Structure 1
Amino acid sequence: MEFSTESTNENESALFTEYPNISLLDNATTTPVPYVDYEDRLETYLVPTIFALIFIIGVLGNGCLILIFFRHRTMRNVPNTYILSLAVADLLVIVTTVPLTSVIYVLNSWPWGETLCTLSEFFKDLSIGVSVYTLTALSGDRFMAIVCPLRKFHGKSATRTTIFITVLIWLFAAACGIPAIHGSYIRKIVINKEVISICYPFPTEFGKTYAQGIVIFRFLVYYTIPLLLIAVIYAVIAQHLICSPVIGEINQNAQRQIKARRKVAVTVLAFVAIFAICFLPSHVFMLWFYFNDNAEEDYNDFWHILRMVGFCLSFANSCTNPVALYCVSDVFRKHFNRYLLCRSSSISRHHTYDKSREMTVTTQSTIYRRYPSKRFGNQSIKRNAAETTVILQDTGDENGLIDHEKMSCM
């Protein structure tokens, strides 16, 4: 398959990268070229179906995450604040970009105009930047919770610090998206005398060097550098856990806290792995195409499939975090079942049992004080202390996705 355009982008029309003799409008060619109608292509049906699933799962999942955070006070901790930021960024790109971009495999031309083209490219870059650097901040928070727990901020200090870091992440991601605002435009090409419009992020007057610079910039800033930082952080965490005391050598309360923090660390690591997998094919294709002088001649079915896979996975990442949370977090799964499936969960019964047990302990303690005796008084103190320990353990770790509010179908 011959390929003869100056450059391409993951958001441009499939025909632009698939058929030869395509030219800019200013240098239009009248040479007939092989052309397969959109209704005869597999991707015409496959890609919009995938994007429809991404939209539905992403809106419901991320919307549910946001709802859980604001409706349940006990869910408002440091890790969940970062996860809220991830959900907002993912929901933003799903609502503003996915419906617009999905049509490029259905229609010949970009139908939305230059303004939506620019906003689509910008929000895509903004979401990627917020996602990867929020994951980096989450990894740093796990480092502080596991390796340096005594130095970790708590209470209002932790809240202020988290909000400050989150705002910085959004500002930095917005700054990284400025090239998309500056460069995105509607590019006109001609194929078989038909004028085709595509949303294109690299102005041709800037030359190939500009496109290469943006591609390598995105690869480093949105992928390589943050993932290397996360790898270093988790390497230190792993070393600390290996060298830490055996669980049997510490008390039960500390065991529970360590297990909770490890579970959250594993959850964050799962988010990072999903992000790395989803964006790797896209970066590989872009680097190959823009830095290979013979890319136009070497473009074949393999690279076309890789480009489509990368295109879909890069947007699928916006709906994977709620799915991952549903799989690894019992608390989120119960909230998710409550709001989306209208199903009450066992956590309500567990919470009610704990409350009744706590009330019983309080009542018994009061009775013992009213009718003091040496035997009952000593038993009261011992039992009250034991039950209090159980209640404290059931409140969970402040650093985890933990909430013991009553859950019912509302």
Structure 2
Amino acid sequence: MDPLFNTTEFNGTGNNGSGNGSEGLNQFVQPVWQIALWGVLYCSMVAVSVVGNMVVIWIILAHKRMRTVTNYFLVNLAFAEASMSAFNTVINFTYAVHNEWYFGPIYCRFHNFFPIAAIFASIYSMTAIALDRYMAIIRPLQQRLSSTETRMVVLVIWTLALLLAFPQYHFSSIAALPGRTVCYIDWPEYSSLDFRKLYYVCVTVLIYFLPLCIMGCAYTIVGVTLWASEIPGDSSQRYKEQLIAKRKVVKMMMVVVCTFAICWLPYHVYFLLHEFFPELFEQRYIQQVYLGVMWLAMSSTMYNPIIYYCLNSRFRAGFQQVFCCCSPTVGKEELELKSPRYMQTQMSIYRASRLEAAVSTSVEIKTV
């Protein structure tokens, strides 16, 4: 089977699509109750992921106060995760259960191509957020990314993602076996180079270990800086609020990164073992293992909206506004709190009150 997310080898077929004694028959037939249980788990996960990430995108794009550099990358992250859930997860579940490809050659290419691009875009959006937080906190005097520069970074991320995933698109194919059709990747064979193993090792490093190392270093330095900073007794209230806000954002993103790392680790270990120890994957129970590992990996797409809701008051207000858990006006006020117009209004009120107090004091002194 090929990672992300080809499953042809559950049925005893090799990468060339030919049988190895099973004559193309499905060797892994599950009871109906198991299929139903997995179906409920996968469909529920997809529903939560797509709805939650679409709400995140709306919250950010529909409210000017939410359009920050960090949140633009969160939009890219939410788009990648919602797309992968919507276009790949249910299809891959169906293929993993039935071991027959029903969706034609064009979608076979897309099915093998898009997940790598989406995961690359997701994790490097998180990496970009980590580097942005690092620059904002460790080097605050340097100029921050503008909205145009942020869009350019997102474009570069997707360009690199598509290039990395292109081999899976190029070598994807379908084969008609006796009694069924399979979607597989027909990797080229070189006498001195195992292209398949080299590609998957590179992909695993580039979409998992390398970005996690970068984010780990960045958040370690940022965390030490923020949580080792003691708020002096005479600090201004504004300084205290800024420090607390920075800590909240960093805490939220650290939880997002850790969740991603935990969910995807078993998946990458599974496929690395499969590449180097294929004999371990000839048992009947391996299909259940794969479905569990794949569900855990894909479930990472549904946790981020939940994390935002729990750890960020503005996202919480946005979700409440969408799902009518409280007065829509309250959610809107929270999302627009401390907007430039709000701050200007509050400053005008403050100045007017100070002027009124000064005039009143002056009149009282003259009267005395």
Shorter-chain TM band: 0.7 to 0.9
2:280 is matched with: 295
Q: How many Å separate the matches in 2 of 1:182 and 1:215? A: 15
2:292 is matched with: 309
- Alpha-carbon offset, residue 162 of structure 1: 1.9
- Alpha-carbon offset, residue 64 of structure 1: 0.6
Provide Cα deviations, 1:209-231, integer angstroms capped at 9, x if missing partner.
Answer: 22211220111001011111111
Provide Cα deviations, 1:252-291, integer angstroms capped at 9, x if missing partner.
Answer: 2111101101110111111111111111111111110111
Q: How many Å separate the matches in 2 of 1:172 and 1:348? A: 37
- Alpha-carbon offset, residue 89 of structure 1: 0.9
- Alpha-carbon offset, residue 334 of structure 1: 1.3
**1:144 and 2:132 are equivalent in the alignment:** no
- Alpha-carbon offset, residue 362 of structure 1: 5.5
- Alpha-carbon offset, residue 296 of structure 1: 4.9
Q: How many Å separate the matches in 1 of 2:124 and 2:51? A: 23
- Alpha-carbon offset, residue 160 of structure 1: 2.6
1:329 is matched with: 312
Choose from 172, 184, 190 the match for 1:200: 184
1:163 is matched with: 151
Provide Cα deviations, 1:158-178, integer angstroms capped at 9, x if missing partner.
Answer: 323322222211111111111
Q: Is the 8 A contact 1:24 1:188 kept in 2?
A: no
- Alpha-carbon offset, residue 236 of structure 1: 1.6
**1:64 and 2:55 are equivalent in the alignment:** yes
Provide Cα deviations, 1:40-92, integer angstroms capped at 9, x if missing partner.
Answer: 15542233222211221122111111111121111101111110110111122
Closer, same or farther: CA 118–24 of 1 in aligned 2, 3 Å: closer
1:226 is matched with: 211
Q: Is the 8 A contact 2:197 2:275 kept in 1?
A: yes
Provide Cα deviations, 1:307-341, integer angstroms capped at 9, x if missing partner.
Answer: 22221122222222111111111211111011123
User: What pairs with 1:330-345 in structure 2 (closer than 5 Å)?
Assistant: 330-341=313-324, 343-344=326-327
Q: How many Å separate the matches in 2 of 1:32 and 1:71? A: 51
- Alpha-carbon offset, residue 98 of structure 1: 2.3
Q: Is the 8 A contact 2:4 2:112 kept in 1?
A: no
- Alpha-carbon offset, residue 206 of structure 1: 6.4
**1:239 and 2:230 are equivalent in the alignment:** no
State the percentage of identical aligned residues.
22
- Alpha-carbon offset, residue 363 of structure 1: 5.1
Q: How many Å separate the matches in 1 of 2:332 and 2:69? A: 24
- Alpha-carbon offset, residue 137 of structure 1: 0.6
User: What pairs with 1:4-403 in structure 2 (closer than 5 Å)?
Assistant: 8-9=2-3, 11-13=5-7, 16-17=9-10, 29=21, 35=27, 37-38=29-30, 40=31, 43-153=34-144, 158-189=146-177, 194-203=178-187, 209-241=194-226, 243-248=228-233, 250-292=235-277, 294-296=279-281, 299=283, 301=285, 303-341=286-324, 343-344=326-327, 346=330, 361=350, 364-365=353-354, 367=356, 371=359, 373-374=361-362
Q: Is the 8 A contact 2:73 2:129 kept in 1?
A: yes
Closer, same or farther: CA 219–249 of 1 in aligned 2, 3 Å: farther
Closer, same or farther: CA 227–247 of 1 in aligned 2, 3 Å: farther
Closer, same or farther: CA 173–376 of 1 in aligned 2, 3 Å: farther
Q: How many Å separate the matches in 2 of 1:127 and 1:165? A: 15
Q: How many Å separate the matches in 1 of 2:184 and 2:125? A: 28
SS in 2 for 1:200: strand
Aligned residues: CA RMSD = 3.4
TM-score (norm 2): 0.84
1:398 is matched with: none
Q: Which residue identity does 1:172 align to in structure 2?
A: L
Q: Is the 8 A contact 1:10 1:307 kept in 2?
A: no
Q: Is the 8 A contact 1:202 1:210 kept in 2?
A: no
TM-score (norm 1): 0.76
SS in 1 for 2:326: coil
Q: What is the number of equivalent residue pairs in this alignment?
A: 358
Q: How many Å separate the matches in 1 of 2:24 and 2:332? A: 69
Q: How many Å separate the matches in 2 of 1:128 and 1:241? A: 29
SS in 2 for 1:111: coil
